[in-house]
Homo-oligomer: A and B are copies of this chain.
């Protein structure tokens, strides 16, 4: 069962998020992560949903979501032609004694230190989900205090140029 990233363009109206989320839970499709925000057109929002399933299940999801009110279109953004990103804010224990170790790991991953006090560090990290997973796994030994992680967003790498 593969992870799929599904992009859903919707009219920015009351209830459309509840309708899409309700379809997933009602049919027993899992939502692993979800992001929703406005697009360049404030009347239209884009939802990006990460879900798991074989080709059949994903085809079913695409069809059923398409039929919902205020849904404009549904695209499966899975595969190598897509750039995928998530962002995480991670607060980790770090004392003056071991702080430099945590900072070093953050630098390797190109994370940004966003807060610090005498017992903890706040780090911002963006990248593919696997990179964020690896970063969190490495920080576990120091003691993770909190994680706030966006859902995934994705975009095709290239499109045809008209000329």
Contact = CB atoms under 8 A, between A and B. Distances in A.
A55 B31 CA distance: 31
A147 B39 contact: yes
Contact of A18 (B25, B38, B149, B150): B25
Interface residues of A, number: 60
Interface of A: 7, 14-15, 17-18, 21-22, 24-26, 28, 30-40, 46, 48, 83, 85-89, 91, 114-115, 117-120, 122, 124, 126, 136, 140, 144-155, 157-159, 161-163
Given A40-B144, A126-B124, A154 B30 contact: no
19 contacts: A14-B25, A14-B30, A15-B25, A17-B21, A18-B18, A18-B22, A33-B37, A39-B149, A83-B122, A85-B87, A85-B124, A87-B153, A89-B153, A89-B155, A117-B159, A120-B158, A122-B157, A145-B159, A146-B155
Copies of this chain present in the complex amount to 2
A123 to B, nearest CB: 10
Contacts of A85: 87, 89, 124, 150
B115 A149 contact: no
Nearest to A119: B161
A119 B89 contact: no
